[in-house]
Amino acid sequence: MLQIQGISHWYGDRQVLDGVTFDIKPGRLTGFVGANGAGKTTTMRAILGLIHPTEGVTLLNGKPVTDQDRARFGYMPEERGLYPKMKVREQIIYFARLHGVEKAEAGRRTDELLEVVGLSERKDDLLESLSLGNQQRAQICVSLVHNPEFLILDEPFSGLDPVAVDAVLGVLREVADRGVPVLFSSHQLDVVERLSDDLVIIADGKIRATGTREELQRHHSRGLYRIGAQQLGWLEGMTDVELVASENGEQVIRIQLDPTLDDDAAEAAGAKRAQDVLREALAHGEVSVFQRELTPLVQIFREVR
Ligand SMILES: Nc1ncnc2c1ncn2[C@@H]1O[C@H](COP(=O)(O)OP(=O)(O)OP(=O)(O)O)[C@@H](O)[C@H]1O
């Protein structure tokens, strides 16, 4: 496991990271989400030892990460760093060899990856003749060709078409399923929502939320219910229930719960009070829908930033 602990960083007198702390677990895809300039790249660069953070440490299985450990990391930087005038296959093999992969194995692994990302037919073309999306596929092959033990990818999906996104998602899933911890940053919340096992949300250099997608959604959906009722005048008599949204003849309501309750206790308290709400609604007419409502990730992102 990689543990990022209390990383703070200043560029001159400007603080860009403030006590960044989170874990990247084996076999998990951890999505790193934050607005432009939130500090994702700086955090990744600190983990990789490309900058030395002013404060804080990254631990690998309990010990500070060494340069030797880092040689076993795979990294896809945001500013892509491939050679435009080199052929695709040749280039991926070259990077594998730089990581010490034996020649025949480098060739075999390169061909396998090119096939997975759908670039086999372009393997002997110069990198610069490829579209940006295809160059990115090549870059993903480079980050994976030495079978890294940890994988860190900065915006691996930006600029990819939906087919390529799916191909890359498949590769990352397969890598994680082999037990590799994977951290990837993305602005594309739909992709993050689909792919991440764990989520880390950063804003202004501070970690605002961490957890599994389910945990975060559960936490941010305390007391939320969807109701389809003919009229809602009766809600005014329930001072602990507020109307959050109305859409397509249905409403989202929030039952106010004691903020000191943990998520399990809040869920139980909410379910109990929901029964009163349902009874009240039924006393005033038909109820077509009554169910728990889950806050979408995009909404959570807005709430914590
Ligand atoms: N070399 C540098 N010198 C000074 N400031 C920097 C430097 N690199 C980054 N910054 C600043 O640090 C802050 C965090 O930047 P960072 O690139 O980590 O954010 P990010 O979340 O990766 O953003 P994006 O999604 O736009 O890539 C930004 O305000 C950025 O302008």
The residue ranking higher by pLDDT, 248 or 200, is 200
The CA distance from 248 to 228, in Å, is 9
Single-letter residue type at 268: A
Q: Cα(208) to centroid of ligand 1, in Å?
A: 17
| Contact residues for 176 (Cβ-Cβ < 8 A; gap 6+) | 27, 28, 29, 182, 197
Q: Cα(117) to centroid of ligand 1, in Å?
A: 30
How large a percentage of the chain has pLDDT more than 90? 69
For 21-69, write each residue's pLDDT tens digit: 999 999 999 999 988 889 999 999 999 999 999 999 999 989 999 988 9
Nearest to 249 by CA among 237, 233, 231: 231
Confidence label for 110 from pLDDT (cuts 50, 70 and 90): very high
Q: Which ipTM score applies to this complex? A: 0.95
Name the phi and psi angles at 60, rounded to 5: -115, 120
Q: Cα(305) to centroid of ligand 1, in Å?
A: 17
What confidence score (pLDDT) does residue 131 get? 87
List the chain domain ranges.
2-217, 221-304
Q: Cα(115) to centroid of ligand 1, in Å?
A: 34
What confidence score (pLDDT) does residue 169 get? 85
- Compute the average pLDDT of residues 105-132: 93
> Are the C-beta atoms of residues 39 and 17 closer than 8 Å to each other?
yes
Closest residue by CA, ligand 1 atom 30: 37
Pairing mode, strands 250-255 and 29-33: unpaired
Nearest to 166 by CA among 142, 133, 144: 133
What confidence score (pLDDT) does residue 163 get? 83
Closest residue by CA, ligand 1 atom 28: 37
186 has pLDDT over 80: yes
Q: Cα(10) to centroid of ligand 1, in Å?
A: 11
214 has pLDDT over 90: no
Which atom of ligand 1 is the closest one to the Cα of 187? Answer: 25
What confidence score (pLDDT) does residue 16 get? 97
For 139-181, write each residue's pLDDT tens digit: 999 999 999 999 999 999 887 888 888 888 888 998 999 999 9
- Compute the average pLDDT of residues 255-260: 94
State whether CATH 3.40.50.150 applies to domain 2-217. Answer: no
Closest residue by CA, ligand 1 atom 23: 37
Burial (CB count <10 Å: 0-12, 13-18, 19+), residue 302: exposed
Whether the predicted model's global pTM rises above the 0.90 cut: no
- Compute the average pLDDT of residues 256-261: 93
Residues flanking ligand 1, CB < 6 Å: 11, 16, 34, 36-42, 78
The structure tokens listed for 164 are 């390529």
- Compute the average pLDDT of residues 213-224: 90
What's the chain look like in SS3?
CEEEEEEEEEECCEEEEEEEEEEECCCCEEEEECCCCCCHHHHHHHHCCCCCCCEEEEEECCEECCHHHHCCEEEECCCCCCCCCCEHHHHHHHHHHHCCCCHHHHHHHHHHHHHHHCCHHHCCCEHHHCCHHHHHHHHHHHHHCCCCCEEEECCCCCCCCHHHHHHHHHHHHHHHHCCCCEEEEECCHHHHHHHCCEEEEEECCEEEEEEEHHHHHHHHCCCEEEEEECCCHHHHHCCCEEEEEEECCEEEEEECCCCCCCHHHHHHHHHHHHHHHHHHHHHCCCEEEEEECCCCHHHHHHHHC
Rounded to the nearest integer, the mean pLDDT of the chain is: 91
Which atom of ligand 1 is the closest one to the Cα of 34? Answer: 21
- Compute the average pLDDT of residues 97-125: 94
